[in-house]
Amino acid sequence: MIAPTDIPSRTNPQETFVLNLGPQHPAAHGVLRIKMTMDGEYVTRAEPIPGYIHRMHEKMGENRTWTQFLPNTGRIDYLSALHYNHAFVGAVERAARIEVPPRAEYIRVITSELNRISSHLVWWSAYLLDLGGFTPLLYAFADREKILDLLEAITGSRLTYCYFRFGGLCNDIDDAFIQGTRAFVAQMRPRLKMYRDLVTDNIILRKRLEGIGPISAELCRKYGATGPVLRGAGIAYDVRKVEPYSVYSQLDFHIPVFPEGDSMARYRVRMAEMEQSLRIIEQALDKLPAGPVMGKVPRVLRLPAGDYCYAVEAARGRHMVRVVSDNKDIPYRVKLRTPSFSNLSLYEEASKGMMLPDALALLGSLDLVIPDIDR
Amino acid sequence: MKASILDVPRGFWSLLVGMRITLTQFFKPVITVPYPHKTLPIPARYRGPIELTADPATGKALCIACKLCERACPSDCILVAGVKLKGEKKKSVTEFKLDFTKCSLCGACVEVCPCDAIRFSKNYNLASTSKEDYIFDLVARLQAEKKQP
C-alpha cells in the first residue's frame, strides 16, 4: 500500500520520527539495523546499517593457506554452508586444474540441494514468525531436522559444514545416507502439499503478501539482486542453468519464475524451488556413479598466478568467489560476492512509502542472512 | 465486486483446511525427545573436540609429535611438544594442548595426521563458566582414561 503523496507532513521534517529497527530487535533477523524515518505508519526512508557482525572473512583469506580458508566458507551464510564450500573449492579447482571424480560431483549436488531445502525451510518458518504465525515453524523444523540428521551423519556437523575438499569430498556417503535421502524425498512431497494447504492458500497470508512490496526486474538489475528475489520478478536467472557448474547440466529440472514481483511471488518461488530440489536429488541418486570421491591433488597447493572466478546458485542467489593468486601458497585476494548484500541494497528504494508491517513483510521476503551481508 | 464476494467463502474454506491439518496433528505420535533425560544416538562421524588415540597394544599415544596438525590448523589452537626417548625410533608426545575456544572443528588436523593419532570425540556436554576449562590437555586426558578403563 503506497501512502498518498499529497499529505503535507511528508515534506515537513518536523512531522517525521526515526524508528530504530535493530540491531537487537525481535522482528529483525540477526543483527541487522535499519534506521527508519517514519511518517506515522508510513516509511519515508529505510536506511540499512550493516556491519555489526563483520568478521573480515575476505582479509582472513589473505593470511592463511588455500586449505585453511575452507572452514571459513561454511560460516559466511551459515544456512547454506555447502553452496559456499562449493564456490570456493570450485574456484581453486578451476585455477589449479584439479579434476573432480564424477561421484564426488553428484554427491556435491545431492548434499547442496538438501542444504537448499533446509535453508528454505528456515526462511519459511522465520518469515511466518515475522508475519505472526508460530505453528508452521514447528512443522518446518521437524522436516529440517531430518535433513540435518542426514547431513550430520556424513559431514559430522549440523550447520557449518566443511565437507567439500579441493578435488572431491572429505569422505564418501554410505548406503544409510542414500536410503535415508530417498525416504526423505518420499516424505517431503506430501509435506509440501500440506504446507500449501496450511499456509500458502491461507487467506490471511495471501492478504498480507499479495501485491505487497513490489520489486521490478529493473530494480533487481539496478542493485544486482539475484536468486528468488529476481525470479519472483519474472526473470529466469539461475546460475545452475545459465552457467551450469558441477553436473547440473546433466539433470532435468526447471527454474520456477513468478512475474508478479510482490512478496507472494518470492514466497512461491521458494516453495516451488523445494519441489525442484527434490527432483534433482532423486535424479542424482539414480545416476550416482561408483568410484573414488577424491581426485589427484598436489600435496602442497600452489595456484598458478592469475585471477579466477566461480559462481554457484546459493539458496539466496548468486554467490561468486573470486580468487587472485600470485603463485604462493597463500591467496593474494579472496573476494566474496554474496547475494544477501545485493538483495538488501534494494530495500531502501523498494520500501519507500510502505506501511511499517508491509515493509517488514518485504524485508522478510528478501530472505536475508546477516553474516552473509557483513561477512 | 464479484471476486471480493467470492473471497469470503473461499477464504473461510482455506481457514477450515488449515484447522483440519492442525487438528489431525493432535493424534500423531510425539517426535521430540525430552533432553537431557533421554538423548539421541550420535553418528559415527560426529565432530566433537579432538582427542588422542592410543596404541591398543601398549596403551601409549600414537602421536609422534611431528607438529603437522599444529601447522595445518587454521586457527592456531593446537600446541604439540615431544621428546625422543631412548631406544625408540620415533618421538613421543609429551604435551598436546587444544584451545577449544578457537577450534572450528574443521578436521584439518585429523586429515593431515600421518599416523591416525587424532580423532573426533563424541563429547558435546561442554558448558562451563571459565575460559581455562576449554584449554584441553589431551595427553593428560589420555593417561587418565588409561587408568580407569
Spatial contact of A121 and A186, defined as CB atoms under 8 Å apart: no
Tell whether B6 is within 8 A of chain A (Cβ): no
- Is residue A320 within 8 A of residue A291, CB to CB? The reply is no
Q: Residue A166, exposed/middle/buried by CB under 10 A (0-12, 13-18, 19+)?
A: buried
Asked if B124 reaches chain A (Cβ–Cβ under 8 Å), the answer is no
Q: What is the pLDDT of residue A7?
A: 52
The whole-number pLDDT of residue B48 equals 87
Percent over 70 (pLDDT), chain A: 94
**pTM of the entire structure?**
0.88
- A202: distance to nearest CA of chain B, Å? 5
Amino acid A147: pLDDT: 93
CA distances from A152 to A14, A68, A156, B43 (A): 55, 21, 5, 7
Instruction: Encode pLDDT of A155-183 as tens digits.
Output: 888 888 888 988 888 888 888 899 999 99
Per-residue pLDDT of A198-252, as tens digits, reads 888 888 888 888 888 889 999 999 999 999 999 999 898 999 889 888 889 889 8
- From the list B14, B47, B104, which residue is nearest A203 (CB)? B14
Phi–psi pair at A48, nearest 5 degrees = -70, 135
Would you say residue A115 has pLDDT above 90? yes
Q: Nearest CA to A55 among A70, A73, A40, A41?
A: A73
pLDDT digits (tens, 9 = 90+) for A1-60: 455 555 544 556 667 888 888 777 655 567 788 888 888 888 888 888 888 888 889 999
Q: Chain A to chain B, count of Cβ pairs less than 8 Å apart?
A: 66
CA distance A126 to A129: 5
Of B15, B21, B106, which is closest to A70 when you measure between CB atoms?
B106
Are A156 and B74 within 8 A, CB to CB? Answer: no
pLDDT for A281 equals 93
Q: Which helix (H) or strand (E) segment is A334 a member of?
A: strand A333-337
Q: Mutual orientation of helices A175-195 and A102-130 as an angle, nearest 10°?
A: 30
Distance from CA of B71 to the nearest CA of A (A): 10
Compute the CA torsion angle A241, A95, A331, B65 (nearest 10 deg).
110
Please give the grid coordinates belonging to residue B124.
Answer: 558435546
- Alpha-carbon gap: A207 to the closest alpha carbon of chain B (Å): 10
Q: Considering only the beta carbons, identify the residue of A75, A155, A170 that sits closest to B111.
A: A170
Say which DSSP state A316 is in.
T
| H helices present in chain A, as ranges | 57-61, 70-73, 81-96, 102-130, 135-155, 175-195, 203-209, 217-223, 228-231, 239-242, 263-287, 339-345, 347-350, 356-365, 370-374
Does A208 lie at the interface with B, CB-CB under 8 angstroms?
Answer: no
Closest B-chain CA to A158:
B46
Strand partners, A34: A21, A48
Whether the CB of B5 is below 8 Å from some CB of chain A: the reply is no
CA B145-B146-B149 angle, 5° bins: 80
Model confidence band, residue A368 (pLDDT cutoffs 50, 70, 90): confident
Do B104 and A68 make contact, defined as CB atoms within 8 angstroms? no
Q: How far is CA A235 from the centre of its chain?
A: 17
**CATH of region B50-147, choose from 1.10.1200.10, 3.30.70.3270, 3.90.650.10, 3.40.50.2300:** 3.30.70.3270
Calculate the average pLDDT of chain A.
87
8 A C-beta contact, residue B107 and residue A161: no
> Which residues of chain B have a pLDDT value below 50?
none
Residue that the C-alpha cell 560460516 belongs to:
A75
Nearest to A197 among B17, B44, B74 (CB): B17
**Which 8-state DSSP code applies to residue B18?**
H
- How far does CA A153 lie from the centroid of its chain? 23
Residue B31, SS3 per DSSP: coil
- pLDDT for position A10: 54
Q: Which of residues 155-184 of A touch B (CB under 8 A)?
A: 155-157, 160, 162, 170-171
Contact B22 A135 (CB under 8 A): yes
Tell me the Cα Rg of chain A: 21
Number of separate helices (H) and strands (E) present in chain B: 4, 5
Residue A257 has pLDDT above 90, yes or no: yes
Which of the residues B8, B14, B17 would you substitute to probe the A interface, choosing the one with the greatest number of A C-beta atoms within 10 Å?
A: B14
In angstroms, the separation between the Cα of residue B141 and the nearest Cα of chain A is 23
Could you tell me which CATH number the domain at A57-349 has?
A: 1.10.645.10
Among B14, B104, B107, whose Cβ lies nearest the Cβ of A170? Answer: B107
List all residues 6 or more positions away from A189 whose beta carbon is below 8 Å from its beta carbon.
A275, A278
Alpha-carbon gap, residue A141 to B52, rounded angstroms: 36
Residues above pLDDT 90, as percent of chain A: 33
Domain ranges of chain B: 50-147
Q: A112 pLDDT exceeds 90?
A: yes
A68 to B14: CB separation less than 8 angstroms, yes or no: no
Cα separation, A12 vs B17, whole angstroms: 48
Q: Which one of A69, A135, A152 has the shortest CB-CB distance to B46?
A: A152
